[in-house]
């Protein structure tokens, strides 16, 4: 009876009771999260429990559920809370537990083969192809997020430029030096992609931005011309749809035109901003994104799908396959049977085993529909605009950058820069440590800013009033 | 009441009822899976439903549960079935639903910061550090699997060799050409890592193997010497702990000695084989793995954790951090508050947003304990040995390679190679399409083999007898 070489329950009925208790405990966490402080320090006893060596003896299911509730969930970061505004975090949904249960029950490997799960991922890719008005030959791949998506896109761009001779010969097979272009506000994952690909971050030209933190196309064109004159081949142009500091959106249509004229691969980093496409009032600001060669974006941010889940969408699916296709003997395809299903997803990226994160996106998009998901996004942008107005109306506060989308950078004014740095650092820490709200910080032109990011479907307009009030109160208290 | 800009339920009690129904449906799938055929084709109506455009109207939760059961789970690949022996798939566990629910409920981003989840990932890394007898300064990172782990390890090796000048300058900053070494049986992800890093697959020397498909160290040493003589700097040596074709384990201790003598980074690809460390009877075969500079391995294979989940373990955590650390302004750390928690995991790899896959591993290891997980692994190896004996005892069958671990390569004999190719292809397809069993195929010395992989805690010894019997019967029927 007690077969230790299987991991299935001996008593399924008892296990089901435990599993239902776990479900209620997990849902209790979500349902009750707003009533607790946004963030609290991790207590020392929890740190100790979570640094103990692996015990030899197994634990039973209820004990582990209790630990996940009392040690782990009780000391989360707070991103489910309406007043979490830090970095660019998704807020999750209780509905996410439904596909998560099936993801675990199926334990599907999306590397390829012939099973329904691969049709789900293809369908999700197809939906985003349509959302971005990409052509029928477009394709893509679910990835962990925009960092990986950017790496894959730049690998595809490099392969289109240098051909498959690069695969064996490496960068030494390139006909000559190359350069890529992105604004000074572009996300660090762009430079890192070139670092990983062996070109080095130095190939990425950082183009200055205008007063609204958008790439200056005049400077871009001058830099391209200078590179050409120096015998350097322009490879790729990266536009930003929603910069991480201020939410700025580059003039994508103009960039698309420049890329087309110059023969560059046009990539859009739309980590969170690309989701604005779902909001009819915001979508026009992304005009030109439909002309991109590739778009990288996340579902775990503004779509609130469980971490991690992103996508690379590629205008010419063949370019991605060209960069990665490589099937060893043990992964040979077949006309029929479970080894069928060509092309396999493994041919479009570096991973051979791939989780079923597509199910989370499939579920979220069907469950809520594009209009409601877009409404959540539009609501966050309205909240950002409201907060920006509150800041501008408060003499003690300074709006440090335009707030065109969902991010507001502000500070409490102080007599000098040293005082401002100390005071605003203290305000943010007080907000966080008192459990009131979690904004984060950044620097705008080198100056410290309180950064309020709104990718949270639980945040309400009143939370902006509360936040502005808290900052004013704390600024007076801590100055 | 009907606030369309939140994604939380209007009626929590009703949603809970739906969620409990989903849980039972998901568990029904796992509990009942063995009673169904291992694999069946995806029906055309399901393919059609899973290729429809995104509807505007939302779906309700019960409807989507019904679709996940009837369309997706009903047409899975079969890797939960005791008679699934294809490729190298994990078999999942019903217990995996427990951490999956918390993973979705928490929606944690493991990029860094100060919350309990990061302590969980650190603890899991620490456990594997101890399992592999790595020193206190060792570190690592949860990744999607061995392909990514290998990429990170080779990036760390490259950075150790060339210094951080590579970050901006790229491979052009290398002092000279480099080479790496792995056996001809090494997994394709090793060559692909060098392709992605811009060195090209050509830098990877493919060292011949002995009759048991293990790297020939005499040939390795000769190749290293030849490279040195040609002014090429040996960079890394990759040992295989469990080759994907036959389960061969390279002589890791000898490789460690060669790497130490030659100053090479010693990396072990232990995608599935490294897990044998948990089985006391098998662990001695991995002797020398504790001397590696890095080990790449998966939890979604032989540990049956939900896809995708792997790890890179690094002897010198600083080497990995050196290769990737790069914190932009908006990710600045702090002494206290939620921005504390240095070092952040983002500093050890390319991803800034990272899912909480560590929870799956944490749960699995605590729930079952290392001894029971090891017992499942040992049982699979005993099954492989049993099947190999059955094959050797059957005059119509040919054992095509030694079966030292958990993989058996065999074929039904035929008058000539053309006939053997056709017959064994037909046997595999018949096994699969009749829903009897799912082995896969590979090539051994260019010759097609039926490949039986045992990373399945539901497989029993009797399944090996049944498989051998089915192959003999089908061979006679289809010849």
Asked if the Cβ–Cβ distance from A104 to B100 is below 8 Å, we say: yes
Share of chain B above pLDDT 90, in %: 96
What ipTM was estimated for this complex?
A: 0.98
Task: Assess whether pLDDT exceeds 60 at residue B1.
Answer: no
Residues in chain B with CB shorter than 8 Å from the CB of A308 are: 109, 351, 353-355
- Chain A: nearest CA to B239, how far in angstroms? 18
Q: Does B37 touch chain A (CB under 8 A)?
A: no
d(CA A239, CA A252): 6
Mutate to test the interface with B, among A101, A152, A376 (most CBs of B within 10 A): A101
Asked if the Cβ–Cβ distance from A307 to B170 is below 8 Å, we say: no
d(CA B386, CA B367): 29
Among B65, B98, B332, whose Cβ lies nearest the Cβ of A19? Answer: B98
Q: Does B407 touch chain A (CB under 8 A)?
A: no
Q: Choose among A94, A30, A34, A76: nearest CA to A460.
A: A34
Q: Choose among A301, A361, A304, A298: nearest CA to A145.
A: A298
Mutate to test the interface with A, among B104, B144, B152 (most CBs of A within 10 A): B104
Going by their DSSP bridges, the two strands B84-85 and B438-444 should be labelled as parallel
d(CA B429, CA B178): 44
Residues in chain B with CB shorter than 8 Å from the CB of A172 are: 200
- SS3 label, residue B408: strand
Q: Which two tokens stand for residue A43?
A: 């207590």
pLDDT in tens, B135-146: 999 999 999 999
pLDDT in tens, B35-49: 999 999 999 999 999
Residues in chain A with CB shorter than 8 Å from the CB of B98 are: 18-19, 22, 61, 64-65, 68
Asked if the Cβ–Cβ distance from B304 to A7 is below 8 Å, we say: yes
Residues in chain A with CB shorter than 8 Å from the CB of B353 are: 144-147, 298, 300-301, 307-308, 310
Residues 7-26 of B with CB under 8 A from A: 7-9, 12, 15-16, 18-20, 22-24, 26
Query: Which residues on adjacent β-strands are paired with residue A450?
Result: A410, A441
- HSE-up (13 A, CA, CB side) for residue B287: 7
Distance of CA B23 to the CA centre of its chain: 27
Going by their DSSP bridges, the two strands B265-269 and B294-298 should be labelled as parallel
CA angle, B403 as apex, B398 and B406 as ends, to 5°? 125
Q: Does A184 touch chain B (CB under 8 A)?
A: no
Asked if the Cβ–Cβ distance from A351 to B31 is below 8 Å, we say: no
Indicate the CATH number for domain A102-366.
Answer: 3.40.640.10
Model pLDDT, residue B332: 85
- Say if residues A402 and A306 touch (Cβ distance below 8 Å): no
Q: Which two tokens stand for residue A306?
A: 């469980």
Q: Which residues of chain A have pLDDT under 50?
A: 1
Residues in chain B with CB shorter than 8 Å from the CB of A351 are: 144-145, 147-148, 308
Q: Edge-to-edge, what's the strand order for the sheet holding B447-453?
A: B84-85, B438-444, B447-453, B407-412, B397-399
Tell me how far CA of residue B275 lies from CA of A114, A200, A412, B132, B373, in angstroms.
28, 36, 54, 10, 9
d(CA A422, CA A373): 39
d(CA A253, CA A232): 25
Tell me how far CA of residue A380 lies from CA of A384, A451, B475, in angstroms.
6, 14, 64
Which CATH number is correct for B372-478, 3.90.1150.10, 3.90.400.10, 3.40.50.300, 3.10.310.70? 3.90.1150.10
- SS3 label, residue A224: helix
Neighbours of B33 (CB within 10 A): 22
Residues 155-174 of B with CB under 8 A from A: 155, 166-173
d(CA A333, CA A206): 44
| Domain boundary assignment for chain A | 12-78, 102-366, 374-478
List, in order, residues 6 or more apart from A328 with CB less than 8 Å away: B187, B188, B244
Residues in chain A with CB shorter than 8 Å from the CB of B330 are: 87, 244-245, 440-442, 451
DSSP assignment letter at B72 = I
Model pLDDT, residue B326: 79
Residues 247-276 of B with CB under 8 A from A: none
- Chain B: nearest CA to A460, how far in angstroms? 9
Model pLDDT, residue A4: 72
Among A29, A50, A355, whose Cβ lies nearest the Cβ of B120? Answer: A50
Burial B58-92 (b: 16+ CB within 10 A, else e): bbebeebbebbbebbbebbbbbbbbbbbbbbbbbb
Asked if the Cβ–Cβ distance from A7 to B368 is below 8 Å, we say: yes
CA angle, B476 as apex, B473 and B477 as ends, to 5°? 85
d(CA B26, CA B30): 7
Tell me how far CA of residue B69 lies from CA of B22, B47, B62, B97, in angstroms.
9, 15, 11, 15
Q: Which two tokens stand for residue B368?
A: 């079952």
Residues in chain A with CB shorter than 8 Å from the CB of B30 are: 8, 105
Mutate to test the interface with B, among A66, A105, A352 (most CBs of B within 10 A): A105
Model pLDDT, residue A1: 38
Among A23, A108, A245, whose Cβ lies nearest the Cβ of B76? Answer: A108
Model pLDDT, residue A331: 83
- Say if residues B305 and B368 touch (Cβ distance below 8 Å): no
d(CA A176, CA A156): 17
Instruction: Write phi, then psi, for A197 (nearest 5 degrees).
Output: -75, -5
- Chain B: nearest CA to A60, how far in angstroms? 6
Q: Which residue has the tokens 């097609």?
A: B448
Model pLDDT, residue B4: 72
Give the torsion sign (CA, B387, B390, B392, B398): negative
Residues in chain A with CB shorter than 8 Å from the CB of B203 are: 170
d(CA A400, CA A388): 10
d(CA B219, CA B212): 15
Tell me how far CA of residue B243 lies from CA of A117, A418, B239, B407, in angstroms.
27, 59, 10, 9
Query: Which residues on adjacent β-strands are paired with residue A310?
Result: A143, A298
Asked if the Cβ–Cβ distance from B104 to A110 is below 8 Å, we say: no
- Chain A: nearest CA to B328, how far in angstroms? 7
Indicate the CATH number for domain A374-478.
Answer: 3.90.1150.10
Neighbours of B222 (CB within 10 A): 12
- Chain B: nearest CA to A177, how far in angstroms? 10
CA angle, A297 as apex, A296 and A300 as ends, to 5°? 150
Q: What value does the CA radius of gyration of chain A take, rounded to a whole number of Å? A: 24
Q: Which two tokens stand for residue B262?
A: 């030659």
> Which of A333-342, A408-417, B387-396, B466-475 has the lowest average pLDDT?
A333-342
Going by their DSSP bridges, the two strands B447-453 and B407-412 should be labelled as antiparallel
Q: Choose among B99, B359, B355: nearest CA to A89.
A: B355
Chain A's closest residue to B429, CA to CA, is: A337
d(CA B177, CA B296): 25
- SS3 label, residue A140: strand
Tell me how far CA of residue B140 lies from CA of B60, B101, B128, B137, B275, in angstroms.
42, 25, 9, 10, 16
List, in order, residues 6 or more apart from A9 with CB less than 8 Å away: A15, B94, B95
Tell me how far CA of residue A424 lies from CA of A78, A393, A398, A410, A478, in angstroms.
21, 18, 11, 9, 9
Question: If you write DSSP's letter for every residue of A335-347 in order, what string do you get?
Answer: SSSTT--SSPGGG
Q: Choose among A198, A205, A201: nearest CA to A182.
A: A205
Q: Edge-to-edge, what's the strand order for the sheet holding B204-207?
A: B139-143, B310-314, B294-298, B265-269, B233-240, B178-183, B204-207
Q: Choose among B406, B311, B317: nearest CA to B364.
A: B311
Among B115, B127, B339, whose Cβ lies nearest the Cβ of A440? Answer: B339
Asked if the Cβ–Cβ distance from A307 to B9 is below 8 Å, we say: no
Strands (E) in B241-285, as ranges, are 265-269
Q: Which two tokens stand for residue B351?
A: 């991803």
Model pLDDT, residue B331: 83
Asked if the Cβ–Cβ distance from A336 to B433 is below 8 Å, we say: yes
DSSP assignment letter at B241 = B
Q: Does B30 touch chain A (CB under 8 A)?
A: yes
Neighbours of B25 (CB within 10 A): 20
d(CA B309, CA A391): 44
Residues in chain A with CB shorter than 8 Å from the CB of B198 are: 166, 170-171, 197-199
Chain A's closest residue to B11, CA to CA, is: A31
d(CA A15, CA A22): 10
- HSE-up (13 A, CA, CB side) for residue B259: 26
* Fold for the domain defined by B109-355: 3.40.640
- Say if residues A353 and A418 touch (Cβ distance below 8 Å): no
- Chain B: nearest CA to A149, how far in angstroms? 10
Task: Assess whether pLDDT exceeds 90 at residue B329.
Answer: no
Q: Choose among A79, A64, A63: nearest CA to A29.
A: A79
Q: Edge-to-edge, what's the strand order for the sheet holding A84-85?
A: A84-85, A438-444, A447-453, A407-412, A397-399
Q: Does A461 touch chain B (CB under 8 A)?
A: no
Chain B's closest residue to A100, CA to CA, is: B100
């Amino acid at each position: 009876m007690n077969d230790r070489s299987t991991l299935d329950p001996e008593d399924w009925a008892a296990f089901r009771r435990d599993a239902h208790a776990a479900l209620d405990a997990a849902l209790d966490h979500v349902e009750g999260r707003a009533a607790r402080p946004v963030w609290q320090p991790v207590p020392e006893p929890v740190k100790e429990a979570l640094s103990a060596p692996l015990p030899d003896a197994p634990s039973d299911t209820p004990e582990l559920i209790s630990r996940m509730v009392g040690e782990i969930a009780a000391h989360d970061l707070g991103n489910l809370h309406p007043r979490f505004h830090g970095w660019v975090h998704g807020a999750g949904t209780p509905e996410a537990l439904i596909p998560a249960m099936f993801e675990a029950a199926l334990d599907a490997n999306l590397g390829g083969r012939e099973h329904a799960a691969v049709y789900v991922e293809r369908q999700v890719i197809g939906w985003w192809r349509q959302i971005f008005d990409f052509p029928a030959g477009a394709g893509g791949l679910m990835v962990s997020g925009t960092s990986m998506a950017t790496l894959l896109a730049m690998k595809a761009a490099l392969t289109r430029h240098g051909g498959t001779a690069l695969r064996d010969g490496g960068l030494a097979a390139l006909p000559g030096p190359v350069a890529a272009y992105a604004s000074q506000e572009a996300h660090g994952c762009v430079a890192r992609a070139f670092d990983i690909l062996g070109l080095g971050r130095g190939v990425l030209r950082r183009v200055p931005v205008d007063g609204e933190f958008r790439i200056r196309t005049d400077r871009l064109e001058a830099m391209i011309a200078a590179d050409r004159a120096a015998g350097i081949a322009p490879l790729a142009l990266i536009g930003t749809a929603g910069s991480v500091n201020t939410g700025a959106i580059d003039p994508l249509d103009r960039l698309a035109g420049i890329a087309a004229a110059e023969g560059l691969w046009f990539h859009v980093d739309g980590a969170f901003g690309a989701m604005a496409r779902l909001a009819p009032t915001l979508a026009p600001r992304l005009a030109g994104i439909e002309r991109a060669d590739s778009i990288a974006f996340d579902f775990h941010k503004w779509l609130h799908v469980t971490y991690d889940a992103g996508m690379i969408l590629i205008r010419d699916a063949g370019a991605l396959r060209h960069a990665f296709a490589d099937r060893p003997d043990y992964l040979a395809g077949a006309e029929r049977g479970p080894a069928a299903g060509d092309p396999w997803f493994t041919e479009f990226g570096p991973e051979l085993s791939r989780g079923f994160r597509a199910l989370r996106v499939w579920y979220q998009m069907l469950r809520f529909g594009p209009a409601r998901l877009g409404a959540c996004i539009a609501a966050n942008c309205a909240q950002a605009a409201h907060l920006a107005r509150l800041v501008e109306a408060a003499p003690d506060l300074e709006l440090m950058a335009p707030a065109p989308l969902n991010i507001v950078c502000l500070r409490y004014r102080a007599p000098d820069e040293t005082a401002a740095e100390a005071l605003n650092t203290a305000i943010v820490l007080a907000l966080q440590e008192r459990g009131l709200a979690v904004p984060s910080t950044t620097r705008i032109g080198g100056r410290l800013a309180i950064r309020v990011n709104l990718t949270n479907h639980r945040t309400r307009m009143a939370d902006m009033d509360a936040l502005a009030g808290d900052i004013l109160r704390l600024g007076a208290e801590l100055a």
